[in-house]
């Protein structure tokens, strides 16, 4: 290797900057906050719908019903715990201010498969995945460029 160290350091700083950017640049919000009116029905042993997808900053006005026995609704990461009986619906509001994937699960023993009664709330795009993908792309590009410069040297 006859190349001086300076280009190497410069290359590495650029690489580091790119990686940091991929890790830390905030994702802009593409959507104006919306209010969703959602009905969730709890039955043995599933929620319907079992998956909710909203954008960060949205508000969910949930009407929770039960159609066979008493069920619960505990939303991970949002400090929400409701209990619902057949014939007596429950209303509550969720402000989706944390992005990520959060499970909602039954918090009242409702029968043999109760532990598997889980739904998921997806808030916003899957940021960790996209950031990791960007870093992978940067790494791959850096390796290709590095290999090219070594071959030409």
Partner 1 sequence: MTNGRGNRTAIVTLIAILVGIPLTIVGYQYGLRPVFADHRIIDITARVPENGGFQPDLVRMEVGETVTLRFAADDVVHGIAIGPGLGVDIGQVDPGHVGEITLTVDSPGIYTYYCNTWCSPSHWRMRGVLEVVDPDAASPLSSPPDPIIEALVAAGIDIDADPQTVDGIVPDRARGQASVGSVEVPAELLEPDWRLQHTPEGGLGLLRAANRDTPDDLLIDVVAYLWSNTVPTEQAVELFAKNCAACHGERGGGDGPVAESTIDPPVAFAEAAWLRRGDIWYAKIRRGGMGTDMPNFGTLFTVEETRSLVDYLWFLSFAGP
Residues that bind partner 1 (CB under 8 A): 41, 65-70, 85-89, 108-111
Shortest separation between residue 91's beta carbon and partner 1, angstroms: 12
Residue (21 or 88) nearer to partner 1, CB: 88
Shortest separation between residue 41's beta carbon and partner 1, angstroms: 8
Q: DSSP per residue over the chain, as a string?
A: --S-HHHHHHHHHHHHHHHHHHHHPPPPP-S---EEEEEEEEETTEEESSEEEE-TT-EEEEEEEESSS-EEEEETTTTEEEEEBTTB-EEEEEE--S-EEEEEE--S--STTGGG-EEEEEESS-HHHHHHHHHHHHHHHHHHHHHHHHHH-
Shortest separation between residue 89's beta carbon and partner 1, angstroms: 7
Residue (50 or 148) nearer to partner 1, CB: 50
Residue (72 or 119) nearer to partner 1, CB: 72
Shortest separation between residue 64's beta carbon and partner 1, angstroms: 12
CB 104 within 8 A of CB 76: yes
Residue (59 or 74) nearer to partner 1, CB: 74
């Amino acid at each position: 290797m006859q190349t001086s160290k300076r280009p190497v350091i410069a290359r590495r700083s650029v690489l580091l900057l790119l990686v940091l950017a991929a890790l830390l640049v905030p994702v802009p919000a593409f959507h104006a906050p919306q209010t969703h009116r959602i009905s969730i029905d709890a039955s043995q042993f599933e929620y319907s719908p079992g998956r909710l997808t909203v954008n960060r900053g949205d508000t969910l006005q949930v009407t929770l019903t039960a159609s066979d026995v008493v069920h619960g609704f505990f939303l991970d990461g949002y400090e929400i715990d409701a209990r619902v009986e057949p014939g007596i619906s429950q209303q509550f509001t969720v402000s989706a201010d944390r992005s990520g994937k959060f499970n909602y699960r039954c918090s009242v023993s409702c029968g043999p498969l109760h532990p598997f009664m889980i739904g998921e709330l997806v808030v916003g795009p899957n940021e960790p995945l996209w950031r990791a993908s960007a870093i992978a792309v940067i790494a791959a590009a850096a390796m290709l460029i590095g290999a090219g410069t070594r071959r030409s040297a």
